[in-house]
């Protein structure tokens, strides 16, 4: 896991991720399986079901895209688009918990906990 202290909407946070950029599709582009007619009822496929993610998945936050180099990691794309990262307020660092993409993740019940 890697982490970085950031300022997000005027508050201090710790942005962290599993540093597995080769499997980062971005929350908007991660392949998923639709479970019902409800457009919000789906599950993200597990890492084992997917190959490497695109180097450029086509999503940007400002001028920042998915990092290509280790020195670019934990940029604005990571904070707002990467499904493998999360952030906690700096005084709540004990509550860090990354999503485990070794299994399928249901959108409605599991993402955003």
**What is the model's pTM?**
0.86
Alpha-carbon distance 71 to 11, whole Å?
Answer: 24
The pLDDT, as a whole number, for residue 95 is 80
Residue range 7-35, pLDDT digits in tens: 999 999 999 999 999 999 999 999 999 99
The pLDDT, as a whole number, for residue 113 is 43
For the chain, how many structural domains are there in total?
Answer: 1
The pLDDT, as a whole number, for residue 107 is 85
Q: Are 77 and 57 in contact (CB under 8 A)?
A: no
Residue range 43-95, pLDDT digits in tens: 999 999 999 999 999 999 989 999 999 999 999 999 999 999 999 999 888 88
Helix (H) or strand (E) holding 110: helix 107-110
Domain containing 6: what range? Answer: 2-110
DSSP class of 53 = P
Exposure class string for 70-92: b at 16+ Cβ within 10 A, else e:
eeebbbbbbbbbbbbbbbbeeee
């Amino acid at each position: 896991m890697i982490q970085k202290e950031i300022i997000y909407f005027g508050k201090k946070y710790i942005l962290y991720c599993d540093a597995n950029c080769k499997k980062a599709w971005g929350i908007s582009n991660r392949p998923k399986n639709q479970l019902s007619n409800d457009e919000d009822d789906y599950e993200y496929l597990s890492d084992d079901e997917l190959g490497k993610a695109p180097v450029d998945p086509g999503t940007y936050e400002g001028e920042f895209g998915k990092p290509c180099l280790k020195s670019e990691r934990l940029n604005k794309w990571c904070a707002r688009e990467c499904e493998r990262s999360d952030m906690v307020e700096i005084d709540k660092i004990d509550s860090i918990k990354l999503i485990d993409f070794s299994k399928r993740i249901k959108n409605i019940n599991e993402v955003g906990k």
